[in-house]
Amino acid sequence: GAVVSQHPSRVICKSGTSVKIECRSLDFQATTMFWYRQFPKQSLMLMATSNEGSKATYEQGVEKDKFLINHASLTLSTLTVTSAHPEDSSFYICSAEPDRGKETQYFGPGTRLLVL
């Protein structure tokens, strides 16, 4: 199956700093990538849909100035958590779909963010 990577896998940072998470599709081009957030023992919540070459579409309640998304190429999307606070600590997962209308999206391994 298609491979999606995320970097870093874990990050610990101080409150007030910014953290960038990269999501890469390794063996396919992804017009669309998705960013999810998962709190412990909870389900995945879609944060935003990232389209190559255009602005991301954010879900209701997600601050676009807080969670900056850039989809500069067909294989890379980045999520930057700006001025991170402890409540931003979570598991962030990206996914990508090879073609519109394909059966499934492929998920990255996730990034665990801990803000102290």
Partner 1 sequence: AQKITQTQPGMFVQEKEAVTLDCTYDTSDQSYGLFWYKQPSSGEMIFLIYQGSYDEQNATEGRYSLNFQKARKSANLVISASQLGDSAMYFCAMRELDGFKTIFGAGTRLFVKA
Contact pick of 54, 61, 87, 103 for partner 1 (by CB under 8 A): 103
Sign (positive/negative) of CA torsion 87, 38, 101, 74? positive
- Pick from 43, 53, 61, 87 the residue near partner 1 by CB under 8 A: 43
Residue 26: HSE in the Cβ half-sphere, 13 Å Cα cutoff: 11
**Listed residue (78, 68, 81) closest to 12, CA to CA:** 81
Q: Of 22-30, 39-47, 68-76, 81-89, which part binds partner 1 (CB under 8 A)?
A: 39-47
Q: Interface with partner 1 includes 32 (CB under 8 A)?
A: yes
Q: How far apart are CA 70 and CA 43, in angstroms?
A: 24
Residue 105 binds partner 1 (CB under 8 A): yes
Site residues (CB under 8 A) for partner 1? Answer: 1, 32, 34, 38, 42-46, 49, 57, 91, 93, 95, 101, 103-110, 112
